[in-house]
Amino acid sequence: MDWITTVDHKKIAILYLIAGGFFFGIGGIEAILIRIQLMKPMNDFVSAQVFNELITMHGTTMIFLGVMPIIFAIMNAVVPLQIGARDVAFPFVNALGFWTFLFGGLLLNLSWIMGGAPDAGWTSYTPLSSSEYSGTHGVDFYTIGLQIAGLGTLIGGINFLATIITMRAPGMSYMRMPMFTWTTFITSAIILFAFPAITVGLVLLTFDRILGANFFDVANGGNPVLWQHIFWIFGHPEVYILILPAFGIISEVIPTFARKRLFGYSSMVFATILIAFLGFMVWAHHMFTTGLGNVANALFSISTMLIAVPTGIKIFNWLFTMWGGQIRFTAANLFAVGFVPTFVMGGVTGVMLASAPADFQFHDTYFVVAHFHYVIVGGLVLGLFSGLHYWWPKMFGRILSETLGKWTFWTFMIGFQLTFFVQHFLGLMGMQRRIVTYLPNQDFDLLNLVSSVGAFLMGVGVIMFLVNIVITTRKPVNAPNDPWEDGRTLEWSIPSPPPEYNFKQTPLVRGIDAYWKEKMAGHTEMTPAEPVGSIHMPSATPLPFVMSVGIFIAGLGLMFSKDDFGNAFMNGLFNNYIVVIIGLLITFGAMALRSLYDDHGWHIEPEDQDEKGVRT
Amino acid sequence: MMKQWQVAKRILPLLAVFSLLLSACGREDLSVMKPQGPVAQGQYDLMKLSIAIMIVVLIIVFAIAAYVLIRFRRRAGQNEVPEQVEGNFKLEVIWTAIPLLLVIVLAVPTVQTIFAQGEDLSKDKNAIQVKVTSHQYWWEFTYPQYDVTTSQDLIIPTGKKIAFELKTADVLHSFWVPSLAGKMDTNPDGTVNKFSFSAPNEGVYRGKCAELCGRSHAFMEFKVKAVSQESFDRWVNEMKAPAVLPEDTQLAEKFKTNCLSCHAVGDQGGPVAPNLTGIGGKEAVAGILLNQREGQEEGNPVLDNMKEWLHDPQSVKPGNTMPNPKDLGLTDEEIDGIAEYLANYKLDYE
């Protein structure tokens, strides 16, 4: 019950981590099934229909329900601590963001047991995703599930923007913010501008499918290419929503374990902003083969290539952060160090893809599959592993086993390279993506087998990480404030895990890497910026949970509003939108309750602050 | 200057080895890395340029990374705090400028190739015009200059530019012959795409659908067959000749009522389903069941493939719209008879 009503950012972080981990597991199982199917030519392990459902759900789940929530978990756990805040700007809204994400994700995955998963690819290109060509409820689960989950992301992003703008500790100017907070800030800004696009797209597609609109139907004056534009105007920035937080994590981990401040901090900030800006200018490079014309292809080619410049700045800055340092190879740092060359591999193939005429050959082949897995798995997932190993003691007060962590790294890394390096060649040799099987003797057989073996190895790596978590959870909570001894930012100046109110007194920030600066000045803790006083806390409330349940019910109701259940009662309930209305009533009722009932929260008085250090 | 040349001299053999490695990959009729025509060649050249640039980048980054990781490990007893370096303006400018330069080196030929290959040949009298219409899950090719329509095997004369107009009859597909040219999507009416390629050498090249289009996306393959100009002219004439129907009049009647309502042979039948004229001589049945060819191990006899298809079309291409012949009331003998007739229906043009 405590977990359902919580509005504490640290607990919400853990909720995000558990839910994200759960969906990540589902997405991983889907990936393994895909690789089993492709292990040998003309395999019939799964049917063509199931295969299309697997690839669609693997992509959708991993992007929206796997990695994004784990990013949000780390952001929630770390950002308020890094800026010296007691919580996020809107704790209630933060909880709402989590619950809408969770119920959206559950709705999407219910499709496996309720009549067909989405099967039109994670991009759901129309007309394949129209009700004419995708007759099951699969794509409805996609549009409505993602809509609800996306609501949570948008809420979360806005919340982080407000938090970072308004709640930084005294003295923390923008140019003194830790890099991870910077990337969270920029990521949230991208979310704010990109998610409305997918929201609109999903609404239009829902209208086409459920209410018989014609936005994407040529015969009635619509245009399917419109969907591609809407999708990629969201979809390309989405890539940067994913990778920028990883950049932030790497920018925290590498300086800590090299015992040096980040090289070229201001150019890192500048590069991050530039990447975000360019990220909105390049969506049509996903559509070179759609036939946009020579001028558009040329312009989008060049703008895409330009992204290599700020990314290059980042790579070299990381390398030169380590130059002259004293590098310790902890598990967290292994992942960070492994990230750099792997991500560079993903980056260079990105520039290759940017060349439109060459992209005519690369597009929709395994070369592209290899490229974006190098970016998302080799970049983001390695970054997440690094961040989780790094901040685990801060989140849970227990240090993950280093030995198991290193084993995880090597198994996962080797598995990863085996899986995806060979896929570059599969693509160049003519293997298109999203095919359920392939004819023998096309030189695809061996490389596909290698790729599948690598995927199993990656699976073993992930299992090792889970084992590590289970073992660690049984250890006592004894991590020191600054377990890596070279922590540089504010979160390492308070206990692990932090008390409910984070900072007893808001710290005073005197420069970049505030805690490191104090340590170098011979202090053991931060200089406070305020006297000890009564701390105001928000009340726990089940309303965010109830609101999300309402939306979930309304979504299900809308989806089945045209179905014939062969039962007058059910038909009456669904076909007259009664279920939708009940769901919305629940949500709006909870909203009204929230508005009408004034909750002022509660206070922790100074005399309670020592023993009130509630352990999360 | 001398020093830079030294570096280049070290990298060049590496590139040579790498391009050898690349060109060893895949089949000539399928691999992007073994281009068989000028369009694919131009795209491959661009790839080689970008791969070369990127390998140089990778070598530099990997070298710095390896050096740093080995040289600056923390050693036992190392307790003094390393110097906290803020940054280095000169270095940062350098690694902003160099990538920018590399991008320009790649961007210039990219733009040139885009405009060179994006030329519209649809009004060119010397080019062979082909209208491609994609269907779930087969390809229809119409030659408006010759008033001929065929399916699955695209016959083209060597050396001639083929100007394509691409559209789809249902969902999006993508027309791709890797060894001849990059892919191009087939959109519905209103956004018809145009592009062109040519094949200097005779041969059969494998084509694929590259855009997820439903359950049988993987099985939506086709072949491009480049033949001499004379053979091509003969093929056009053969295509325009009156239909050859089964000799057995009863079977012919069955074939007419059951198959020709959708399919066409010669001057008879309808345009809804793949044109069957000369189907016995095609490279594959249903695009995916390869037929045996002389001097090649792959494939089954065309009759076997035809029977496999006609006895259960759904097992070969799930989700296709062809009714099962058994459901149309045809007996097994009749199906076999039609399979035999179709397998022997070959055009003599090669």
pLDDT in tens, A288-329: 999 999 999 999 999 999 999 999 999 999 999 999 999 999
Measured distance between the N- and C-terminal CA atoms of chain A, rounded to whole angstroms = 14
pLDDT at B20: 65
Contact A290 B185 (CB under 8 A): yes
Among B32, B51, B58, the residue with its CB nearest the CB of A430 is B32
Round to whole Å and give the CA distance between A190 and A380.
17
Mean pLDDT for the stretch of residues A422-446: 94
Whether the pLDDT of residue A230 is over 80: the answer is yes
Backbone CA torsion sign across A100, A102, A106, A108:
positive
CB-based burial, A250-281: b 16+ in 10 Å, e otherwise = bbbbbbbbbbbbbbbbebbbebbebbbebbbb
Among A223, A313, A359, the residue with its CB nearest the CB of B96 is A313
Contacts with A340 from chain B: Cβ below 8 Å: 61, 65
pLDDT at B289: 95
φ and ψ at residue B154, rounded to 5 degrees: -95, 115
Mean pLDDT for the stretch of residues B259-284: 93
Closest CA to A180 of A256, A234, A108: A256
φ and ψ at residue A490, rounded to 5 degrees: -60, -30
Structure tokens that stand for B43 in this block: 């795209």
Å between A24 CA and nearest CA of chain B: 24
CB-based burial, A562-584: b 16+ in 10 Å, e otherwise = eeeeeeeeeeebbeeeebbeebb
Å between B126 CA and nearest CA of chain A: 23
Among A290, A309, A319, the residue with its CB nearest the CB of B99 is A309
Contacts with B78 from chain A: Cβ below 8 Å: 326
Q: What is the pLDDT of residues B79-98, one digit of tens each?
A: 888 999 998 999 999 999 99
Q: What is the pLDDT of residues B119-162, one digit of tens each?
A: 889 888 899 999 999 999 999 999 999 999 999 999 999 999 99
Q: Find the residue in B nearest to A323 (Cα).
A: B68
Q: Among A142, A428, A519, pick the best mutation site for testing chain B contact (most B Cβ within 10 A).
A: A428
Q: What is the pLDDT of residues B187-239, one digit of tens each?
A: 998 889 999 999 999 999 999 999 999 999 999 999 999 999 999 999 999 99
Q: Among A136, A435, A488, pick the best mutation site for testing chain B contact (most B Cβ within 10 A).
A: A435
Among B58, B171, B184, the residue with its CB nearest the CB of A348 is B58
pLDDT at B297: 78
Angle at Cα B18 formed by Cα B14 and Cα B20, nearest 5°?
A: 120
CB-based burial, A462-488: b 16+ in 10 Å, e otherwise = bebbeebbeebeeeeeebebbbbebbb
Round to whole Å and give the CA distance between A503 and A83.
11
Interhelix angle for A308-322 vs A331-354, to 10°? 150
Contact A312 B26 (CB under 8 A): no
Contacts of residue A513, defined as CB under 8 A and 6 or more positions apart, other chains included, come to: A178, A255, A261, A488, A489
pLDDT at B1: 44
Q: Among B39, B171, B308, pick the best mutation site for testing chain A contact (most A Cβ within 10 A).
A: B171
Closest CA to B42 of B195, B193, B155, B202: B195
Whether the pLDDT of residue B12 is over 90: the answer is no
Contact A259 B184 (CB under 8 A): no
Q: Find the residue in A nearest to B77 (Cα).
A: A326
Q: Reduced to 3 states, what is the DSSP secondary structure of residue A141?
A: helix
Q: Among B36, B71, B179, B183, pick the best mutation site for testing chain A contact (most A Cβ within 10 A).
A: B183
Contacts with A324 from chain B: Cβ below 8 Å: 72, 82-83, 85
Contact B84 A260 (CB under 8 A): yes
Q: How does the average pLDDT of chain A come out, rounded?
A: 94
pLDDT at A225: 94
Round to whole Å and give the CA distance between A30 and A545.
29
Q: What is the pLDDT of residues A202-226, one digit of tens each?
A: 999 999 998 889 999 988 889 999 9
Q: Number of A:B CB contacts under 8 A?
A: 284
Given a contact cutoff of 8 angstroms between Cβ atoms, the answer to whether A582 and A557 are in contact is yes
Mean pLDDT for the stretch of residues A54-59: 97
Whether the pLDDT of residue A363 is over 50: the answer is yes
Amino acid at A461: G
Residue that the structure tokens 């395994």 belong to: A366
pLDDT at A178: 97
Q: Find the residue in A nearest to B180 (Cα).
A: A361
Q: What is the DSSP string of B119-157?
A: ---TT-TTSEEEEEEEETTEEEEEETTTTEEEESEEEEE
Contacts with A297 from chain B: Cβ below 8 Å: 114, 118
Closest CA to A313 of B96, B289, B16: B96
Contacts with A427 from chain B: Cβ below 8 Å: 32
- The conformation of residue A538, written as its DSSP 8-state character, comes to P
Å between B6 CA and nearest CA of chain A: 24
How many Cβ atoms are within 10 Å of A608's Cβ, its own excluded? 12
Q: What is the pLDDT of residues A141-151, one digit of tens each?
A: 999 999 999 99
Structure tokens that stand for A225 in this block: 């290419």
pLDDT at A115: 77
Structure tokens that stand for A221 in this block: 């004056």
Host H or E run for residue A604: strand A602-604
Contact A224 B172 (CB under 8 A): yes
E strands, A509-580, are 535-537
Angle at Cα A450 formed by Cα A448 and Cα A455, nearest 5°?
A: 95
ipTM > 0.90?
A: yes
Contacts with B189 from chain A: Cβ below 8 Å: 218
Confidence of residue A242 (pLDDT cuts 50, 70, 90): very high
Q: Reduced to 3 states, what is the DSSP secondary structure of residue B204?
A: strand
Confidence of residue A257 (pLDDT cuts 50, 70, 90): very high
3-state helix, strand, coil in chain A (%, to 5): 70, 0, 30
Contact B113 A357 (CB under 8 A): yes
Host H or E run for residue A602: strand A602-604
Amino acid at A529: A
Whether the pLDDT of residue A192 is over 50: the answer is yes
Structure tokens that stand for A186 in this block: 């920029």
Contacts of residue A240, defined as CB under 8 A and 6 or more positions apart, other chains included, come to: A187, A190, A275, A276, A279
Round to whole Å and give the CA distance between A587 and A550.
5
Whether the pLDDT of residue A70 is over 80: the answer is yes
pLDDT at B18: 65
Round to whole Å and give the CA distance between A552 and A580.
9
pLDDT at A612: 43
Among B85, B92, B170, the residue with its CB nearest the CB of A260 is B85
Whether the pLDDT of residue A616 is over 50: the answer is no
Confidence of residue B21 (pLDDT cuts 50, 70, 90): low
pLDDT at A231: 97
Among B30, B87, B110, the residue with its CB nearest the CB of A357 is B110
Confidence of residue A606 (pLDDT cuts 50, 70, 90): confident
Measured distance between the N- and C-terminal CA atoms of chain B, rounded to whole angstroms = 59
pLDDT at B5: 58
Round to whole Å and give the CA distance between B334 and B326.
10
Confidence of residue A615 (pLDDT cuts 50, 70, 90): very low
From residue A81, alpha-carbon distances to A75, A488, A498 in Å are: 10, 12, 9
Q: What is the pLDDT of residues A139-177, one digit of tens each?
A: 999 999 999 999 999 999 999 999 999 999 999 999 999
Among A306, A316, A364, the residue with its CB nearest the CB of B95 is A316
φ and ψ at residue B294, rounded to 5 degrees: -65, 140
Contacts with A329 from chain B: Cβ below 8 Å: 73
Helices (H), A431-512: 445-473
Q: What is the CA radius of gyration of chain B?
A: 27
Q: What is the pLDDT of residues A284-298, one digit of tens each?
A: 999 999 999 999 999
E strands, chain B, are 128-135, 138-143, 148-151, 153-157, 162-168, 173-177, 181-186, 193-197, 203-209, 222-227, 264-265, 268-269, 284-285, 289-290
pLDDT at A537: 93
Beta strands at B284-285 and B268-269: parallel, antiparallel or unpaired: unpaired
Mean pLDDT for the stretch of residues A42-61: 96
Q: Reduced to 3 states, what is the DSSP secondary structure of residue A197?
A: helix
Round to whole Å and give the CA distance between B150 and A402.
65
Q: How does the average pLDDT of chain B come out, rounded?
A: 91
Q: What is the pLDDT of residues A84-137, one digit of tens each?
A: 999 999 999 999 999 999 999 999 999 999 878 999 999 999 999 999 999 889
Interhelix angle for A68-82 vs A179-210, to 10°? 140
Whether the pLDDT of residue A610 is over 80: the answer is no
Backbone CA torsion sign across A407, A412, A414, A415:
positive
Q: Is A154 exposed, middle or buried (0-12, 13-18, 19+ CB in 10 A)?
A: buried
Contact A434 B217 (CB under 8 A): yes
Contacts with A298 from chain B: Cβ below 8 Å: 110-111, 114-115
pLDDT at B9: 61
